[in-house]
Structure 1
Amino acid sequence: MTSAISIGKQDFASLRENHYFYVDKTDFIRQWWESGDDITLITRPRRFGKTLNMSMLNCFFSRQYAEKGTIFEGLSIWKQEKYRRLQGTYPVIFLSFADVKQNNYQDAVQKIKNIIVDAYRQHRYLEQEECFTQNEKQQMLEITEKMSDVTAQDALKNLSSYLNLLYGKKVLIFLDEYDTPMQEAYIHGYWDEFAGFMRSLFNATFKTNPYLDRAVMTGITRISKESVFSDLNNLTVITTTSDAYADCFGFTEEEVFQSLDQFGMPEKKDLVKQWYDGFCFGTHRDIYNPWSITNYLKEKKLRPYWAATSSNGLISKLLQSASVNMKEELEKLINRQQIVVNFDEQIIFGQLEQDESAVWSLLVASGYLKVEEIEYRGLTLEPWYSLSITNLETVSMFSNMFKSWFAAASANYNEFIKALLNGDVKAMNLYMNDIALATFSNFDAGKHASERSQPERFYHGFVLGLLVEVRDLYEVRSNRESGYGRYDVILIPRNLDRDAMILEFKVKETEEKTLQETVQKALAQIEIKKYDAELKERGIPKERIRHYGFAFEGKKVLIG
């Protein structure tokens, strides 16, 4: 009889006590303990088992679970006697910042204070212990939702001291989703002030805390030490490009295939691999995200389960306003090609809009792109990453993101695509002007966008939308060499019964009196530069190639 699958349950004890489906990841306990590292920060994409693993650590080490060692019976960690003796022997502080998603500084800090107060409630028995002075007990009682910022920043360090005094043993601290509030602070515009609060909290908890034995933090991104971990020299950072703990988060292919056998679906292995395989941690390949696999095992239907669990607001905002060069790289990725880029795996949120390379770091950390290879170049050994899109599920995530860029004019966007395919220039003009009017400002969101770059940003966003909307009918290529120059967009039909298309975009120059003149200039350029050459080489006759000139002036567009 197969175990029942509980979707979304992140409490290790509950999973084991109720005999729900569980893939054994307890070797993570051994690997982490034997590393001997003081403070370990592990970054993994969302829904990769971070919270469940942190709950597992808590259940294994915490004195509160000293009588519940049976939940580890039958698992790999329980095979070693020294670990059976270790279970339930440490004072533990276990917190999660996953719910800190407030849109302003005051509410975010208040939410963290509430979480700290809850951590104290879990150890309310301390107030009754005789080893504490009245002054110390009074300090415990002062940890309330109304405490000052400074009191909150010192509270976890002080709780560590109380637990250390009572048990004669330094504490373990497990902090899950440490970076969630930092991302929200950046999105909602209170980054600088909030980073200062978090820096003081982290320094007191992890840097100047003499009662701390070891700690583990998890998150999606590796935020720079300068931002929140200043002078924390004993921090070991494990990112998606590290080999450590590579098989501890996410499912290995062996685990996935064993699960498919267990649930009577051995014939689905190739299909599941095509959809959900592709994640890489360090040199370890063929990692699957647990969320999609467990949902598939339960529902037995192929769906973009993981891709549908996040709005990706920050990534969408950054990509939408990105430069032409970055959007061209996105085109390559969606066309399942590799790109080679240089970036720093540390993310400095305050520089995201100034340093576009940081967006690649964010996409890798989030799991949407995978690192195929790292090459270290030059005297300074700068890392250059070969990136590709992770799998079919992440293709769907990008597709939905690109569609959302045109949400304000989605109906008109779809109608424009129909008009384009049907060759209806009048309708194309009608709908394209509505689309441009509704969405131009989004593509001009960069801080240094110029009048000239506005249509360029819009056009490249539009190309990405085309990649999504017509990819079954056409191969969409942009800014490639053909004839004597570089065309803007070519649509190459997958079925030669359809017409090919060349789209040339031009901004109206001051010497051009009308948009019609600009259109004619665009059309003339297609002829003069012989952009048809690539299409003719593919065997498409000239009479099956349509030319379109797009002329931009502000938010006005004319197509001819």
Structure 2
Amino acid sequence: MARRLPIGKQNFKNIRENGYVYVDKTRYVWNLVNSGLSYFLSRPRRFGKSLFISTLESYFSGERELFTGLYIEEKENEKEEDAWVKYPVISFYLSGGDYNSPVGLSDTLGNVIDGCIVRYGLDKERVTGETLPVRFKNLIQCLYEKTGRQVVVLVDEYDKPLLSTMISNTKQEEENRQLYKGFFSVLKDMDGYLKFVFFTGVTKFSKVSIFSDLNQLKDISMDKRYSGICGITEDELTEAFEPEIGALTSAQGMTHDECMSKLAKMYDGYHFSAGSIGVYNPFSLLNAFDEEDFGSYWFETGTPDILIKKLETSRMPLYKLSEGVVATESALMNYRVDDPDPIPLFYQSGYLTICDYDREFRLYTLKLPNNEVKYGFFDSLVPSVLGQSEEENPASLRSMLMDLRAGKPDSFITRIRSLFASIPYPEGKAPVYEGEWSRQLYLILSLMGAYTQCEVHMATGRADCVVKTSDYIYVFEFKLDAPVEDAIRQIDEKGYTISYSADSRKLYKVGVVFSTEKRNVVDYEVEESRD
């Protein structure tokens, strides 16, 4: 029988009591609770942050039976005293809620306080106050006095009330921000009452007061020791999911190595610190095992509008997302809403990941982590970059790809012309710089790469694009407002076709010229290479 996979499950107790597969992350729990007091962790959505918070909640609640056979059971049992101590826990799960409502955030915070009063049997009259911050402070003091134990405060998805309003309702976003300023700053002077504090979120807003008021909040988001705290490592994949890998391999008619390679290309590649282990997207991986297919599951939950808007206002070439962009550590870890640079938000949201680090200059190089992110995100850009609906895009791409598979580069160029002619440009908004033409063309060719080998570079020193089908290889060079002969000449002089000369497939050199004035392809030349 197929095992129970915890798709969408975020409650540790539910997973353990109902026989779901669980990847043991309790060694991170042990390390954290035995080395500090207050932490912050940033990870992309659906990466397991809520499950980790729930694991902390069960641990501090002394639910010993849930940890049978896990790493932390042995470590806890080795204690000479205070093993499996039960602490009072205040848990804020903020992923749900109508935060565009004037009372959405205040109601959510207030309900948590009311729930704790009932759960721990506190005197409601003592947990009073004219404001939420005062009630929160009184709650912590009352819990400490009643139990004789310090209090644990867990905050999951702290930034959801801000992210969900920063585009649609900026006035409410500022009000939510101000409410946070007073509420969580209560923790600043209560160290004596607190056992452990843990915040999670997608982004770390530099101007949100919890990071200035709670200066003892240690950010472990880029700490190499905690790179695998969320997500699934290669070792965890092979140890915990052997039956699922076997079933997927059989369903897809692959060998084991082919299946593992495909899984890595689709869902692996996330690195959250310099030189760290890579992790797989857990949500996509579990869905792939459940459906026994390689789908784009993470993107079915939607791409945040803010990412597309950020890229629309940026002149960053799209190829940089695949080949590498550079950022400092401070830029990656502190997001400002008014920052025009899209890189920090793309990194914190999981659309870029660390691929290299320059220790001398302390600079990170980032790129798209895997094919699911690459093709899913590029597909979401089609309406804004090409002016087409998502429904129109697949048909045109299939037609272009069919032309190249059939050895019809002339027909391919005709379709490119037709596509560019259909792109609507508002008055005065036509692309006037080479990067915009590259962005549109790169997007078209990259999406074709989901169905064939398409290496797109758009950078000097290499062919702009190489497309490989079962029978043909096409080496493209694109020029703006220049003779088409220049494109062919560059292919020859730079030797772009040499590495394919021994290949048995028919090899074509294709030069293409765009016109700024015409906003389209105005000339092209196709030559069969005989190198």
TM-score tier, shorter chain, comes to 0.7 to 0.9
Q: State the distance in 1 between where 2:355 and 2:121 align.
A: 56
- Can you give the 5+ residue segments of structure 2 that lack an aligned partner in the other structure? 250-255, 524-531
Distance 2:223 2:150 in 1: 29
The verdict on how the C-alpha distance between 1:39 and 1:2 changes in structure 2, with shifts beyond 3 A counting, is same
Q: What pairs up with 1:452-471 in 2 under 5 angstroms? A: 456=434, 458-471=436-449
| Contact 2:33 2:196 survives alignment (8 Å) | no
**Contact 1:278 1:288 survives alignment (8 Å):** yes
CA-atom RMSD in angstroms: 3.7
CA contact (8 A) 1:203 1:229 kept: no
**Kept in 1: contact 2:387–2:424 (CA 8 A):** no
Post-superposition offset of 1:45: 2.0
1:51-130 equivalent positions in 2, closer than 5 A: 51-62=50-61, 66=62, 68-79=63-74, 80-81=76-77, 82=79, 85-87=82-84, 89-100=86-97, 102=99, 104=100, 107=101, 109-125=102-118, 129=122
CA deviations over 1:109-150 (Å, ceiling 9, x no partner): 5222222222123223389656x7x5x26x27x7xxxxxxxx
**Paired AA for residue 366 in structure 1:** S
Counterpart amino acid of residue 348 in structure 1? Y
User: Does the residue aligned with 1:122 lie in a helix, a strand or coil?
Assistant: helix
Look up the match of 1:368: 351
Q: Does 1:277 align with 2:263?
A: no
Residue 390 of structure 1: CA displacement? 1.6
- What is the letter of the counterpart of residue 439 of structure 2? G
How many Å apart are 1:94 and its aligned residue?
A: 0.3
Equivalent in the alignment of 2:468: 494
* Local SS of the residue matching 1:480: coil
Aligned runs of 1:62-461 on 2, under 5 Å?
62=61, 66=62, 68-79=63-74, 80-81=76-77, 82=79, 85-87=82-84, 89-100=86-97, 102=99, 104=100, 107=101, 109-125=102-118, 129=122, 134=125, 136=126, 139=128, 151-188=131-168, 190=170, 191-206=173-188, 211-224=193-206, 228-239=210-221, 241-263=222-244, 265=246, 267=256, 268-282=259-273, 283-324=275-316, 326-330=317-321, 333=322, 337-342=323-328, 344-353=331-340, 356=341, 359-377=342-360, 382-406=361-385, 408-410=387-389, 415=396, 418=400, 421-423=409-411, 431-437=419-425, 456=434, 458-461=436-439
How far, CA to CA, are the matches of 2:459 and 2:153 in structure 1?
52
Deviation at 1:57, TM superposition (A): 1.0
Give me the whole-angstrom Cα distance separating, in 1, the residues matched to 2:45 and 2:80: 29
Per-residue CA deviations over 1:209-228 (Å, capped at 9, x if unaligned) read 76333200111222226655
Give a deviation string over 1:463-519, Cα, whole Å, max 9, x none.
23223244336543425258xxxxxx94444368576554433xxxxxxxxxxxxxx
The one-letter code of the counterpart of 1:214 is F
Q: Compared with structure 1, are the counterparts of its residues 375 and 435 closer, same or farther at alpha carbon in structure 2 (3 Å cutoff)?
A: same
Instruction: Output the amino acid matched with 2:358.
Output: E
CA distance in 2, matches of 1:372, 1:432: 34
> The residue matched to 1:387 in structure 2 has which SS?
strand
Cα deviation for residue 50 of structure 1 reads 1.0
Residue 504 (1) aligns with residue 504 (2): no
d(CA) in 2 for partners of 1:201 and 1:293? 37
Residue identity in the other structure for 1:549: F
Deviation per residue, 1:320-350 (Å, 9 max, x gap): 32114x43423xx1xxx44544452233333
Deviation (angstroms), 1:101: 6.0
Q: 1:77 to 1:83 in 2, by over 3 A?
A: farther
Against the structure 1 CA distance between its residues 183 and 236, is the aligned structure 2 distance closer, same or farther, given a 3 Å change threshold?
Answer: same
Distance 1:126 1:255 in 2: 36
Which consecutive unaligned segments of at least 5 residues does structure 1 have?
A: 143-150, 442-449, 483-488, 506-521
Residue 148 (structure 1) aligns with = none
Match of 1:34 in 2: 34
Distance 1:498 1:212 in 2: 64
SS at 2:103's partner residue? helix
CA distance in 1, matches of 2:188, 2:476: 60
Cα separation, partners in 2 of 1:425 and 1:551, compared to 1, 3 Å? farther
Q: Distance in 1 between matches of 2:439 and 2:167?
A: 21
Q: State the Cα deviation string for residues 33-89 of structure 1 (Å, max 9, x = none).
A: 111x22100112222211111111111213xxx5x4322222221223239954351
Q: Normalising by structure 1, what TM-score?
A: 0.75
> TM-score, with normalisation over the residues of structure 2?
0.79
Q: Percent identity?
A: 22
Letter in 1 for 2:264: K
Residue identity matched to 1:47: R
* Separation (CA, whole Å) in 2 of partners of 1:542 and 1:16: 57
Conserved? CA contact 2:267–2:371, under 8 Å: yes
Give the Cα separation in 1 of the matches to 2:491 and 2:120: 81
1:24/1:75 contact within 8 Å kept: yes
Equivalent pair of 2:487/2:511 in contact (CA under 8 Å): no
2:82, 2:441 → 1: CA distance? 61
Asked whether the 8 Å contact 1:277–1:286 carries over to 2, the reply is: yes
Corresponding residue SS for 2:224: coil
Aligned-residue offset at 1:407:
6.9
Displacement of 1:453: 6.1
| Counterparts of 1:83 and 1:2, CA distance in 2 | 41
DSSP 3-state at the match of 1:436: coil
Distance in 2 of aligned mates of 1:481 and 1:29: 49
How big is each residue's C-alpha offset from its partner over 1:295-330, in whole Å with a ceiling of 9 and x where there is no partner?
A: 233222222223433323222221232114x43423
Q: What does the per-residue CA deviation read over 1:359-402, in whole Å, with 9 as the maximum and x for residues that have no partner?
A: 2222332333332332244xxxx521122332232223333233
CA distance in 1, matches of 2:235, 2:487: 57
The answer (yes or no) to whether the contact 1:429–1:557 under 8 Å persists in 2 is yes
How has the CA–CA distance of structure 1 residues 43 and 406 changed in structure 2, closer, same or farther, with 3 Å as cutoff? same
User: Would you say how many aligned residue pairs link Structure 1 and Structure 2?
Assistant: 489
Tell me the distance in 1 between the aligned counterparts of 2:93 and 2:122. 27
Could you tell me which amino acid in structure 2 is paired with residue 188 of structure 1? Answer: S
Q: Evaluate the alpha carbon distance shift between residue 526 and residue 163 of structure 1 in structure 2; reply closer, same or farther with a 3 A threshold.
A: farther
Once residues 383 and 101 of structure 1 are traced to their aligned partners in structure 2, the CA distance between those partners, rounded to angstroms, is 40
Q: Kindly tell me: are residues 238 and 499 of structure 1, through their superposed partners in 2, closer, same or farther at Cα, counting changes over 3 Å? A: closer
Is the 1:503–1:548 contact (alpha carbons within 8 Å) kept by the matching residues of 2? yes
Shift of residue 90 of structure 1? 0.7
Q: 1:306–1:328: structure 2 CA closer, same or farther, 3 Å change rule?
A: closer
SS at match of 2:307: helix
